[in-house]
Amino acid sequence: MGLDLSGVRRVVEGVLDDRVELWRDLQGEADDELNESTGELVPQAGTPRRYWDGLAAVTLTGQLPSNTQSLDGMWSAAPSKTAYLALLPLTAPQTRPDDFLVVASSNRDPQLTGRRFRVLEAATASYAVVRQVRLQILE
């Protein structure tokens, strides 16, 4: 007999109030072009496709600090670009590394609106009530 977490799942999904979109580059990097002046691969216009939109939450985990040197030479810990986590309902489709998450709107933090993140990995668990997806902020 398994543990029934449907009640907990409904409660947790009730606090997911950021509207997000998940995007995927369907053709991968094969169609990207090399920018010879910067050395970076640039995706072709119109390549990514939105494959899901719905309610989620984007949080700053407060972990994974990166050391940065300030102007006066002192070292300090700053939040890492990979310290973000998305909480998606279990009904959302599975994400893949290098998918993009875009925050369409946020009731709790209006500064999140319009932010773009790259999916690093998705966590799975036997007793999950939401899907945790580690993100990297894109600036």
**At residue 110, does pLDDT exceed 70?**
yes
Residue 22, C-beta contacts closer than 8 angstroms, at least 6 positions apart: 50, 51, 52, 53, 92, 93, 95, 99, 100, 101, 119
Mean pLDDT of 32-58: 83
Q: ∠ at Cα 22 (56, 97), nearest 5°? A: 105
Binned at pLDDT 50, 70 and 90, residue 55 comes out as: very high
Ordered by start, the domain boundaries in the chain are 21-26+48-64+75-139
Residue carrying structure tokens 């995927």 = 24
What is d(CA 23, CA 68) in angstroms, rounded to the nearest whole number? 31
Task: Give the pTM.
Answer: 0.71
**At residue 63, does pLDDT exceed 50?**
no
Helix (H) or strand (E) holding 102: strand 100-106
For 64-80, the pLDDT digits (tens) are 445 555 556 665 555 55
Average pLDDT, the chain: 80
**At residue 25, does pLDDT exceed 80?**
no
What is the gyration radius of the CA atoms in the chain, in angstroms?
17
